[in-house]
Structure 1
Amino acid sequence: MADHHRTGLKGADDGKVHQLTENELLDESTPLLTANPGISRTTTVCEDADEPDTRINGGHDDDSSEDDKPLPMRQMFFLCAARLIEPIAFFSIFPYINKMCQENGNLKDTDVGFYSGLIESLFSLTQMLVMIFWGKAADRLGRRPVLIFSMFGVTIATSLFGMATTIWEMIVFRCLAGVFAGTIVTIRTMISEHSTSKTQARAFGMFAVVGNLGILFGPLLGGVLAEPAVQYPGVFKGIPFFERYPYALPSFVVGGIGLVITIACALNIEETLPSKILASRGNSDETAPISSPKPAMSTWELVKAPGVAFVLYTFQHISLLAFAYTAIAPVAWYTPVPLGGLGFSPLEISLFMGFNGLSQAAWMLLVFPPLQRRIGTNGVLRACATAYPLFLGITPVLNMLLRNGSPTAVTMFWIIAPAIMALGCGVAMSFTAIQLAVNDVSPSPQVLGTLNALCLALASGVRSFSPALFSSLFAIGARTQWLWGYAIWVLLSILGFGFTLLSRRMPDYDELRRQRERKTTANGVAARI
């Protein structure tokens, strides 16, 4: 049998026919990316980025069986738990950062906003500078070690923040938390690698909902636990440590939560980087030779890959809309009605924010997964992009009702406002849909971490300036009453319409996959000549 030969095509591009032994025969089960047919098909995910693997989630030849792979819920549980750390750590300081700045810096009331904004801007800028480093580290060293190390770093930095006694210490500790920005990018990448085209919508829907929970509980912990000697004198009054460091308790509690989650994840989370998985299999199975991964694409090569630059820009455009609205909405709700706001009390603002959070969770859990399966990622983006300008125009309409002042108009406001807000929160699906677009446009699983890092680095840059910019523009519009105080909403609606145009030009991911398949096949044939 070993001496028996069959004839097969090899190097079809030059028209030559070569003799292949039976062990070399190409058939429908031979992996396209394997340089040697004797190599296990699971090693094909380690090929270099110039020979992209068209299967983002694995490297299996049988696409239907790969798509039918169930979502590993145990791993998803721990990844979602890890997801909680970043928003809780980020938002927990919001209730007390202004007072902390004023006390630590002996600031005037008019200077507090500048320094609190500076601290958050520097945090975002720090994240922008290190995000790509963490993405490349996750692609090279593995997802799991980068995730655990980043989680531990964020935990320590967050714990230290509450003990700062000067503005500079606050900046240093906050920027130190920004240095450990590998958490969010690595979690996104690992969820991508755990999910398939059929389960990714559900997986990232869970990711988004857990992020919203962190945004909800972070400020709650910070507000309830800050200044314990003042809020709970029966328990903490007379304890020198908490009187000297009034903001240490919320930092310690948030840090403790982070430490528990970090330890749990260290014990339970599995590696998802394809080359590391294959290396571990190779160590336990000497009969399965492993092809060593070749150098990955550079960042510039990644940006120039088909469709990547356009998706990157669209990601940042959506981020800009989200950050701008998040910064403006609470201010607009608080601003008096004659100036263009809604005149809400703090309680009404908190209720509205909680209602919006629940509405977004409902859209992400109940609507997004089946909708994405039915109309696709680009279809969801187009639907959200169509609704975005309308959603951003809601507040002026509601203000007009309140400006009318009649009992009927006010009653209509309280009937219409919650319903419109609940429906409008559906645009939040665009945040998850664009993440799926990033996964789909990635040229190779080997660079998915770097691509996610690049997206989030740019988003951190956008977040570093957009809240201050749009809040200032809102204040100018309210003070000058240009366009009756609605100028900022006109600007945001124009930006929303820009997203509408972008959504009509999103790449065809199936065509990109076919292009990668053709290139892979051509490279594979050339390698055999």
Structure 2
Amino acid sequence: MSLKEILTYPAISALVASGFSLSFVATSFEVVFALFCYSAIQSGGLAFSASKIGWSLSISGGISSALQIFFMPYLLRTFDCAKMYLFSMSVWPFAYLCFPFLNLIARWGLTEDGQLDANTAAILWVGIAIALGLSRIGVLAFSTSMILVREHAPNPGALSQSNGIVQFAMCFARSFAPFLVSSLFALSIDNDLLWGYLWVAVMVCLSTLISIDCRRILLHSKKTIS
């Protein structure tokens, strides 16, 4: 089948658009998380050292591994794949909303010498774990996306083409997402736009619209079943 023929299938075209959007918000989160952690607390960040950022990313990897190994098989046996995909996409706005609250916690516990007290640091790490946990739930959409492509491919012979188109859309979004989101991050902080959190507002609005648009996949999935 040609590219045009494959994209005439509504479910595949919806998965291509959704895969592009998923890759954009997921890659953007990875980029701004590191920038946010490194930025000064007064600038809206956490003023983390490189080692603390490394520990944060290690926590993220651990959460992701646990979800994939221990929870993903059970979830796939229990819930509809399309609904799981929609749920994973719907957590991205909440993941981005965590950033301002993490900075508020850091500001609240900042001592006169510019350090965080022990209680605040503990609360802050719990907040980071929640934010990263939400993002790892959102990343589960990558796995369910591949399953949905397999289920909605026009025919077995077009499976590899369908998967290749979706993966191309994801890679294309990943190619420019770091540039756009890091530029927006710098613009927001340098010009104090929306108290330096314009980038959060933009990403929350964008990820909300994306999660709403993903309902098309659930609709097409129901039509396929019927």
So what's the TM-score if we normalise by structure 2? Answer: 0.89
| Distance across 2 between alignment mates of 1:317 and 1:487 | 19
Report the CA distance between 1:418 and its aligned residue.
Answer: 2.5
The aligned amino acid for 2:25 is: L
Where structure 2 has 5 or more consecutive residues not aligned to the other structure, the ranges are 111-116
In the alignment, which of 505, 512, 527 is matched to residue 224 of structure 2?
Answer: 512
| Distance across 1 between alignment mates of 2:127 and 2:31 | 23
- Bigger fraction of residues in helix: 2
1:405 aligned residue = 109
1:473 aligned residue = 184
Report the CA distance between 1:512 and its aligned residue.
Answer: 2.4
Deviations along 1:11-46, whole A, 9 cap, x unmatched?
Answer: xxxxxxxxxxxxxxxxxxxxxxxxxxxxxxxxxxxx
Deviations along 1:162-200, whole A, 9 cap, x unmatched?
Answer: xxxxxxxxxxxxxxxxxxxxxxxxxxxxxxxxxxxxxxx
Q: Is the 8 A contact 1:372 1:379 kept in 2?
A: no
2:162 aligned residue = 451
Larger radius of gyration: 1
Deviations along 1:118-148, whole A, 9 cap, x unmatched?
Answer: xxxxxxxxxxxxxxxxxxxxxxxxxxxxxxx
| Distance across 2 between alignment mates of 1:415 and 1:452 | 37
Q: Is the 8 A contact 1:323 1:467 kept in 2?
A: yes
Deviations along 1:363-396, whole A, 9 cap, x unmatched?
Answer: 1111122112211111212222332211111111
| Distance across 2 between alignment mates of 1:309 and 1:326 | 26
Deviations along 1:403-453, whole A, 9 cap, x unmatched?
Answer: 123535444223433344335422221111122111111011101111111
In the alignment, which of 357, 377, 390 is matched to residue 61 of structure 2?
Answer: 357
1:369-518 counterparts in 2 under 5 A?
Answer: 369-406=73-110, 407=117, 408-506=119-217, 507-509=219-221, 511-512=223-224
| Distance across 2 between alignment mates of 1:306 and 1:418 | 37
Q: Is the 8 A contact 1:392 1:492 kept in 2?
A: yes
| Distance across 2 between alignment mates of 1:385 and 1:320 | 12
Report the count of equivalent residues: 218
1:197-276 counterparts in 2 under 5 A?
Answer: none
The aligned amino acid for 1:483 is: L
Report the CA distance between 1:321 and its aligned residue.
Answer: 0.6
2:7 aligned residue = 303
So what's the TM-score if we normalise by structure 1? Answer: 0.39
| Distance across 1 between alignment mates of 2:81 and 2:140 | 10
| Distance across 1 between alignment mates of 2:173 and 2:127 | 33
1:505 is paired with a residue whose SS is helix
Report the CA distance between 1:459 and its aligned residue.
Answer: 2.0
| Distance across 1 between alignment mates of 2:10 and 2:94 | 32
Seen in structure 2, the aligned counterparts of structure 1 residues 505 and 469 have a Cα distance that, compared at 3 Å, is: same
Seen in structure 2, the aligned counterparts of structure 1 residues 354 and 304 have a Cα distance that, compared at 3 Å, is: same
The aligned amino acid for 1:358 is: G
| Distance across 2 between alignment mates of 1:347 and 1:503 | 37
| Distance across 2 between alignment mates of 1:354 and 1:331 | 16
Seen in structure 2, the aligned counterparts of structure 1 residues 350 and 310 have a Cα distance that, compared at 3 Å, is: same
2:18 aligned residue = 314
Seen in structure 2, the aligned counterparts of structure 1 residues 354 and 409 have a Cα distance that, compared at 3 Å, is: closer
Seen in structure 2, the aligned counterparts of structure 1 residues 403 and 309 have a Cα distance that, compared at 3 Å, is: same
Report the CA distance between 1:306 and its aligned residue.
Answer: 3.5
In the alignment, which of 29, 49, 64 is matched to residue 345 of structure 1?
Answer: 49
